[in-house]
Structure 1
Amino acid sequence: MKFWLSMLCCCLLLSACTVTVDEPETSPEEYEKSLGTTSVPIPIDDALYIEKAQKEGIIEKLGDIFQLDWLTRKEIDAQDIQYLALGDSLTDGVGDEYMRQGYTERLVEQLEKWPAITTITLDNRGKKGRRSDQLLRLLEKGHYDKELEAANLVTLTMGGNDVMKIVKTDIFSLKKEMFDEERVNFQHNYEQIVKEIRARNPEVPLILIGFYNPFSIVVDETTPFEEIIVEWNNDVRELAAQDDNACFVPVLDLFHTNEDLVYHTDFFHPNAKGYERMTERIVAAMKECDIEEMSDGLIGFEE
């Protein structure tokens, strides 16, 4: 106890003492010069620069850890994608009042948000009215050889015009047997189209998009067309299942009615809203098919 009392007394005694230091008669600037140093205030811009540099240093370290460019939210090894769109009026974008090439430009916009992709170059070769036999002839002639060889992603819409070819013959005397006969040709053509694509690019992710029944909004009751469209779509689905790098996208249900106003004023093609729905379905299907593994990591998910 005596020890602590002694220490306390010493502290009180020292605190009572004052030490004075004479201020230099020179100004602070002159005093600093005499020491050989001059203090220069840091401009605001420079201070912001230093703060930015410090942040960038942290970002760079995070980038090294996560392999991510934190300024763009892109992976450090993100790459450009060559996207080839083949097909009919759905690929051409007929009915899109915003003239954004239907689902194709919208798909590009969605995929470019994914960290593994820098930019996507779209090559849209869709054409209104094109049938499976017409596309097959173009492929056999080597019409898209270079485009297919360079492609990192291919989408295809086909089938609607094959059905309409029969409808146009005589809409008042249609029989299901007529569609069954043409279905055999469609199966053959579609299978050969896939083979021609694979001959030029064996590994490219191939997105096979189904088609819908445009007459569903004209006739209220169920018609044989529903069964026909389902069967033809199932043919495409089966072809996709036989190819490890192919993915089927069903869209039949998206255009069953026009309650959500998804049809163009021609009541046959989608409008902008309809194409947006298609794009959402395509992206969802690509994730479900694991497009990242299918593309060997080239097309990575946005998560």
Structure 2
Amino acid sequence: MWRLFLTICLVTLLAACSVTIDPQTEDTVSEEQPTIKEQPTIKEEVSIMTDLAPMLDEEKSTTERFKEIISDVFHLDWSTGKEEDAQDVFYLALGDSLTRGVGDESQKYGYTIRLQHEMEKWPMIQSVELDNRGKNGRRSDQLLALLKKGHYDEELEKANLITMTLGGNDVMKIVKNHLFSMEKSMFDKELPRFIERYDKILQEIRLRNPDAPIIMIGFYNPFSIVIDEITPFEPIISEWNAEIETLSKTDVNACFVPVEDLFVSNEDMVYHVDFFHPNSAGYDRMASRLIETMENCNIEAMSNGLIGFGE
């Protein structure tokens, strides 16, 4: 409103500077000089602006009062866009090389730091501390052993959010041990054991932290772009992911994130040069899928309102 008022005043000043010529009759040409309206002096212009100052101050104070009302109603810190009771989040990432971020040429710890930066934009979160405990080659039996030894007790107790990637290296162990004699029955035999270990991992986590949301991330077939044909690995990976998803439904504060479909080809250049791990573009996709799934899982309710969405 005040901008409109100021514009009108400026237009009025400019109009006052225009030249006005006295009208002449059609049959007579006057030799008199046209009359020109006097321009306002600098002193008069200052006077006009001085007169406007109280109005501008009043408009400014009205805006400030409006901000105060909005802040009170919605409990927002207007200067930062954060909720007044926004809290810090401790984010613990467990798992294998996907959690560690191997292949990420931007050195951003893969999907984890991307998720951290995205969450820090949300009004309910003041800051996010990321503790990435991913390790190359880690299998479910190795993580379970570490948890039983109390290796991550302190981190688990204070975690507000936990993400986990497991399964890829359990499958690869079978591949390495039976490279020239692989049969699907070998993977079918190992799958129940893997799920039993995964279930025990969840139990160990819940002993130390009963409430924090746990995001269980699936894995993909890394041979999909090496072998340009359907391989026995497609159904194997799908079956293992399906079992992880089923397990996630046994915990009311857990949800499963599928990523298998994100890496079926390299047409969009989502693989690292090792053709095994994602590159930066691949981890971007993972982070986007993670955020989308967290919202669909209603993680805000899981976290008792701590992890909320929106910029």
Tell me the TM-score normalised to structure 1 length.
0.82
CA distance in 2, matches of 1:51, 1:125: 53
Letter in 1 for 2:282: G
Question: Distance between the aligned counterparts of 2:190 and 2:284, measured in 1?
Answer: 31
Cα deviation, 1:26-47, whole Å, max 9, x if unaligned, reads xxxxxxxxxxxxxxx99xxxx9
Q: Show structure 1 runs of 5+ residues with no match.
A: 1-40
Aligned to 1:126: 134
Q: Which residue of 2 aligns with 1:23?
A: none
The Cα shift of 1:115 comes to 0.9
Residues 109, 49 of structure 1: CA spacing in aligned structure 2 closer, same or farther, 3 A cutoff?
farther
Residue 280 of structure 2, aligned match among 258, 261, 272: 272
The question of 1:115 aligning with 2:151 is answered no
Q: Aligned match of 2:108 in 100, 106, 126?
A: 100
Q: 2: CA distance between counterparts of 1:250 and 1:49?
A: 56
Deviation at residue 114 of structure 1 after TM alignment: 1.1
Kindly state the Cα deviation for residue 218 of structure 1 after the two structures are TM-superposed. Answer: 1.2
Does residue 249 (structure 1) correspond to residue 260 (structure 2)? The answer is no
In the other structure, the counterpart of 2:149 is: 141
Aligned partners of 1:48 and 1:99: how far apart in 2?
50
- Distance apart, 1:184 and its partner CA: 2.0
1:108 maps to amino acid = Q
1:50-61 correspondence runs (5 A):
55-61=63-69
Matching of residues 174-189 of structure 1 within 5 Å: 174-189=182-197
Larger Rg: 1
Matches within 5 A, 1:279-290: 279-290=287-298
How far apart in 2 are the matches of 1:49 and 1:165?
72
Q: What's the offset of the Cα at 1:274?
A: 0.2
Secondary structure, counterpart of 1:171 in structure 2: coil
Post-superposition Cα deviations, 1:70-104, rounded to whole Å, max 9, x if no partner, equal 22111111111000000000000000000000000
The one-letter code of the counterpart of 1:174 is M
C-alpha separation between the residues in 1 aligned to 2:57 and 2:117?
A: 34
Question: Using the alignment, how far apart are the partners of 2:137 and 2:184 within structure 1?
Answer: 22
2:97 is matched with which residue?
Answer: 89
Q: Work out which of the residue numbers 78, 84, 108 in structure 2 matches 1:76.
A: 84
Q: Which digits, 9 at most, give the CA deviation of each residue in 1:215-238, with x for residues without a partner?
A: 011112211100100111011101
Partner letter of residue 95 of structure 2? G
Q: Distance in 2 between matches of 1:119 and 1:55?
A: 29
Q: Compute the displacement of 1:58 (Å).
A: 2.7
Runs of 5+ unmatched residues, structure 2: 1-48
User: What's the offset of the Cα at 1:166?
Assistant: 0.7
Aligned with 1:216: secondary structure?
Answer: coil
Q: Structure 2 vs 1, CA of residues 48 and 159 (structure 1 numbering), >3 Å: closer, same or farther? A: farther
Residue range with higher mean Cα deviation, 108-117 or 263-272: 108-117
Separation in structure 2 between the aligned mates of residue 225 and residue 148 of structure 1, nearest angstrom: 34
Name the residue aligned to 2:308.
300
Change (3 A) 1:179 1:75: same
**Structure 2 Cα separation of the partners of residues 207 and 302 of structure 1:** 20
Q: 1:125 to 1:48 in 2, by over 3 A?
A: farther
2:170 pairs with one of 162, 165, 169: 162
Tell me, in whole angstroms, the C-alpha distance in 2 between the residues paired with 1:92 and 1:237: 22
Q: Which amino acid aligns with 1:123?
A: D
Task: State the secondary structure of the residue aligned to 2:127.
Answer: strand
- Normalising by structure 2, we get a TM-score of 0.80
The sequence identity of aligned pairs, in percent, is 62
